Amino acid sequence: MNSKEIYETIVKILTILEQNFKYSYGKKISFEEIFEMMKDLYALFTNFEKNVKACGELVVKKYIPLLDLLVRVDTNINHRVEYEKHLKYAYKLGARVSLEHYMVYREWDEPEKDKFFEPRYNILVGYIHYLQELECNPEFKTLIFNAPSGYGKTFPKKISEAWGFGIDDTGTFLSLCSNDDVVKSGSRTVIDEMKSEQFGEVFPNLKWDEENKDYFLKETDEKWKLKDCKMQFSYYAKTTQANVVGSRASKSIHIDDLYPDYKEAMNKALNEYYYNKSITVWEKRYVQNKPPKVCITGTLWSSGDYIDQKIQQLKKEHKFVKHPKYPYTWVSEDGSCAIIQVPALDYETGESTCPELKSTEELLKEKANMEEYLWQTNFQQIPTNPDALGFSYEKLRTYTEIPQSDFVGTDAVIDATRKSGKDFFAMPIFKKVQNDGMNEYYLKDCLFTRTATKDMYADIVEKIVEHHINTLVIESNVTSELKQNIEKMLNAHGIGYCEILEKYNTMPKATRIENEKHIIKKQLVFPQKTMFGINTNIGAFMDNLTSYNATGTNPNDDAPDACALFASEIIEENSQPQIAEPLDFVRQFM
């Protein structure tokens, strides 16, 4: 058969097998018959693999999903062993057109403990996709990837560069980093990858042979050249302090980790220097008359650092939308650039985004021992100026023990949710203590959960009884039934000491927080940082409060808003009915 006939036969067999596993399909093909058909497919692919693009696309879209299914559903152990062999071969073919499949194939025989990509798959899959776009899509120009240190920023880019030479070995990469050892080590990673057995299997035309003295026309860590390169060199590895004039990239420019630590990233002059040099020098080192293809990787260190400025530049030039498939990924509407920012703890669940690297518990211990702004920026990839964290621990009054008080009971507010999901149901409970004639309110307990309000009734009543809550203020614009339901449950228990007030609020959250921040800092007193774990209600409440960013880059602001509600309605008594008093000139006639 010629190439066209082989392709048509492969498609025909794949279609028959796909239809067989549909629910509405009639008489099913037996697993023995399927096994024979799959052996035929394997033979056909071995005769078709020279048609790299067409073969690779068929493998990725249809052949591998079918093999994955058969490994799961065919209970015949001999069949499954054979399918595993077919699957490895299929990944080799798919790796010629898919960087993701190459990342899997290169680790196929590695012990689990030594694999890089597999344990990081969920946080790197979007990054890998857009690294391929950077290499293969002429319209895709800019990729920014941020993640905490050690999560895998530089290594995938180096592997993608080796893979890129497998796709086209005539072009040039330029790699820049502030550290000479790091940038040269990255260059050596690309060389070593191309010399690896797996690379030679995927790209036999570039299979390394130490006897082939023409494989590299020049080979040093700083710059090297493949024999088919059309430019002066295939690869440049330079520091950001080096003179890059004369260096030209035609594939992409990689700018990696410019700061050794947060102190340099807090240097405004240095940040401006890096940003200006990037747009006037580094990004100009692309082949003339073409828009540069640029990949920027690193950890965010501070608000206004180089990466933050580049992100702001992109956001001014493009409108970004959240990617429907890849987590923590935003792509421009025109598809020309992507921003991927992986946090250590997921913004909504608070759980580790990559527990194989660091567990939630380990991360929370690290968080407890660093300043909020550094955690938010360096670990959560939310650029945060220390001054913007208006309720960081050092700006709040804190306690280790609540003082004794003659005041019996507590007060509380409820900032309710419509349904479970993104926002928190917040019910902070404060104990009133008099100190030098001024009332202070100590956060004693709270409910803070992403549970729908309708499912919180029993918990609310339990807290009212436990803490002898005297006054409870509820925002009635969220749920008008809450007050009535709580009162019914309290009456059923014979409890009449809790006064429940409703407050209708139309003020934006940020405005109310800003208006009440002075009272929050002056009269509210909070538990010290290490008193409660973040997995407790009160711990999560304090985390939400202390990480509140006045710039508005908050996943939610329910804790500071609940504190502002307490300050306004309990301390300032805006919820108490106003009693009209007669004017002085009226009193004289009474």
pLDDT in tens, 296-313: 999 988 888 999 999 999
Q: What is the pLDDT of residues 512-537, one digit of tens each?
A: 999 999 999 999 999 998 788 878 99
Burial per residue of 9-33, b for 16 or more beta-carbon CB atoms within 10 angstroms, e otherwise: bbeebbeebeebeeeeeeeeeeeee
490 or 368, greater pLDDT: 490
Question: What's the farthest any 2 CA atoms get from each other in the chain?
Answer: 116
pLDDT band for position 479 (cuts 50, 70, 90): low
Q: CB neighbours of 205 closer than 8 A, spacing ≥ 6?
A: none
Q: Which of 327, 328, 339, 344 is nearest to 150 (CA)?
A: 344
Q: What is the pLDDT of residues 14-68, one digit of tens each?
A: 999 988 888 666 678 999 999 999 999 999 999 999 999 999 999 999 999 999 9
Strand, coil or helix: 444: strand
* Percentage with pLDDT > 90 across the chain: 71
Q: CB neighbours of 508 closer than 8 A, spacing ≥ 6?
A: none
Mean pLDDT to the nearest integer, 203-224? 94
Dist. CA 42–CA 55, nearest whole Å: 12
The predicted structure's pLDDT at residue 535? 81
The predicted structure's pLDDT at residue 582? 46
Domains of the chain: 3-94 (no CATH), 114-341 (3.40.50), 393-571 (3.30.420.240)
Mean pLDDT to the nearest integer, 101-112? 95
Mean pLDDT to the nearest integer, 410-433? 87
Mean pLDDT to the nearest integer, 281-305? 91
Distances 500 to 484, 496, 503 between C-alpha atoms, Å: 9, 10, 10
* 221 DSSP assignment: S
384 or 90, greater pLDDT: 90
pLDDT band for position 550 (cuts 50, 70, 90): confident
436 or 124, greater pLDDT: 124
Does 368 score more than 50 pLDDT?
Answer: yes
How many other CB atoms are there within 10 angstroms of residue 247's CB atom?
A: 19
Q: What is the pLDDT of residues 150-197, one digit of tens each?
A: 899 999 999 999 999 999 999 999 999 999 999 999 999 999 999 999
The predicted structure's pLDDT at residue 24? 65
Dist. CA 343–CA 336, nearest whole Å: 23
The predicted structure's pLDDT at residue 86? 97
∠ Cα 360 366 368 (to 5°): 100
Backbone angles phi, psi at 345, to 5 degrees: -110, 130
Q: Which two tokens stand for residue 115?
A: 């694999």
The predicted structure's pLDDT at residue 581? 45
185 or 577, greater pLDDT: 185
CB distance 186 to 158 below 8 Å: yes
Does 420 score more than 70 pLDDT?
Answer: no
Dist. CA 133–CA 339, nearest whole Å: 13
Q: How far apart are the first and last CA of the chain?
A: 114
Mean pLDDT to the nearest integer, 88-99? 97
Dist. CA 18–CA 374, nearest whole Å: 51
